[in-house]
Amino acid sequence: MFISRHATTHLALGLHVLGAVLLGGCGNGDEHDPSVVVTAAGPVRGTVDGGQRSFRGLPYAAPPVGPLRWAAPRPVEAWTVVRDATRFATVCPQPVTDATGRPAVLGNEDCLYLNVDAPGDSDRPLPVLVFLHGGAFRNGGGSDYEAAAFSAKGRAVVVTVNYRLGALGFLAHGSLAAEATDEASGQYGMLDQRYALQWVQQNITAFGGDPGRVTLAGESSGASSVCNHLVSPPAAGLFHRAILQSGACTSPSTSLSQAAAEAAGSTFAQNLGCTANVAACMRGLSAVTVAGASATARVGAGLGWAPAIGGTTLPRASASALRAGDFHKLPVLLGSNREEYRIFVALQELGQSSAISAGQYTGFVNATFGAGAAAVLSAYPLAAYGAPNLAQSALLTDFAFACPTLTTAALFSAQVDTYAYEFDDPTAPTQVPSPFIEQRSYHSAEVQYLFRQPLSAFGFGPLPALSTAQQALSGTMIDYWARFVANGDPNGAGLPGWDRHLLPNGAVQRLGQGAIGPVGTFGADHNCSFWAGFGV
């Protein structure tokens, strides 16, 4: 069985020198060639398909190699000859499991590239969507998403981004912190994301985009990244709306305390044999060695990699800042999926080649919730679900996704326009075929309704095409997202109405086949009054 980079994740966010940005050719003999765009660093040639243009593998920062490993991103070296931009660049180094079940590393350290999809027939600047991929800050890449269909239907410029991952992106260590001035270590991937937003401000006009209408969006750890930029002072003005898909700002996985991150970084370095001249020692190791070791690194209560809190970039955790009202005030669209955790349970069960047993379920609850375990087992009794895997999926969906989303949305809605949803299509094409559990509206299921994903992100082959009914839901969702990107409001002609601030009253906009509209039982459906007693 082959399980790709996302599966291995789940079983454990200096400008360029400003240059001319022009539409048209650059020394190619045709000043009206729509496939050529001049960026601040040099000209690039993408592809044109009908009225749609695509540009792949655009460098937005210098390769973070050698002395630039574990350093803030630097400007890319300019070029004059038209650069090929017809193919995706490599993803950043990340641990995977190969076809034989052995650990491996995918990607290359020279990975700070982004991709642009843009309509080529607009006579006015179009809104911009910058999408940050998920993968628990350890896996994924901008090339996971084909955004041409969204761009064409939504009349928007779409940017997908690679950023450093795992230890290469989020290693915190005292020796690295000593090299910085006003920043903490352990934020390199987040700095990459901000640098990409700066690239957008500088270059997106050349692709037909409006730098004054940029939406920062993300799914899973990509959504957690958006949370961090919402509370990051240097990110002010780089984006104007935010979309959070299955990643709540009140989740502890959004960021790590500096103390916890540096303690984990010290252990990580020691495990790699670096106990003296640590920064130099670790830079002397191959990217494969560092990324491979990222696979099993853990911090605190089972957390993996995440940005470390500290310095000017992330002075406080997003949850703390949000509760204090200290965040960039802009419209927010956010939500979760009806059965988020079923896919993680499916992966666990495939890994052990059997369904979760009653003993495993009880043992998990006792180990996770300690003194509160009896109350949790009473609220999620096996008898109410019919199978241990369904009970565990419901419990963790509510605890880790649905109720934190409720809390996050309530905090946002007190100060900004907030639109909350629940994706609920129980027939969503599955990423992980499993004989043990039906995954229904699982974590990441909604992404394929927005962006084309020809292959399972979990390494299980091609995904089936959306059915006619699923395509209709996909069209509505793209329309909602595109209108929000354009105006900060998902409503528009021909769409079911979506009210602001539903979640504080326990209601969300249900996104399902033939059933789109407000549902007032979200909090009750996910037992959020119970989890409030746990501080969720």
Q: What is the pLDDT of residues 486-505, one digit of tens each?
A: 999 999 999 999 998 776 66
Ordered by where they begin, the domains of the chain are 1-330 (3.40.50.1820), 355-405+422-536 (no CATH)
3-state secondary structure of 159: strand
Local structure of residue 386 (DSSP, 8 states): S
382-410: per-residue pLDDT in tens? 999 999 999 999 999 999 999 999 999 99
Beta-sheet pairing, 22-23 with 241-245: unpaired
Among 103-107, 241-245, 326-330, the range scoring the smallest mean pLDDT is 103-107
Among 94-103, 221-230, 357-366, 407-416, the range scoring the smallest mean pLDDT is 94-103
Which of 353, 282, 359 has the alpha carbon at shortest distance from 109?
Answer: 282
Q: Which helix (H) or strand (E) holds 153?
A: helix 148-154
Report which residue type is found at 371: A
Give the pLDDT confidence score for residue 505 in this predicted structure: 63
Give the pLDDT confidence score for residue 93 in this predicted structure: 97
Give the pLDDT confidence score for residue 10 in this predicted structure: 41
Which of 361, 335, 334 has the alpha carbon at shortest distance from 348?
Answer: 361
Model confidence at 8, pLDDT cuts 50, 70, 90, reads very low
Distance CA 46, CA 37 (A): 8
Report which residue type is found at 347: L
CA atoms within 13 A on the CB side of 524: 5
3-state secondary structure of 423: strand
- Provide the annotated active-site residues: 220, 340, 443
Distance CA 164, CA 479 (A): 31
pLDDT mean over 120-135: 94
Model confidence at 21, pLDDT cuts 50, 70, 90, reads very low
3-state secondary structure of 147: coil
Distance CA 228, CA 307 (A): 9
Beta-sheet pairing, 47-49 with 52-59: antiparallel
Beta-sheet pairing, 113-119 with 103-106: unpaired
Q: Is the per-residue pLDDT at 15 higher than 50?
A: no
Contact 134, 221 (CB under 8 A): yes
pLDDT mean over 446-461: 79
CA atoms within 13 A on the CB side of 244: 34
Query: 284 versus 535: which is more confidently predicted?
Result: 284
Local structure of residue 467 (DSSP, 8 states): P
3-state secondary structure of 55: strand
Partner residues linked to 326 by β-bridges: none
The mean of the pLDDT values for the chain is 90
Q: What are phi and psi of 108, to 5 degrees?
A: -140, 145
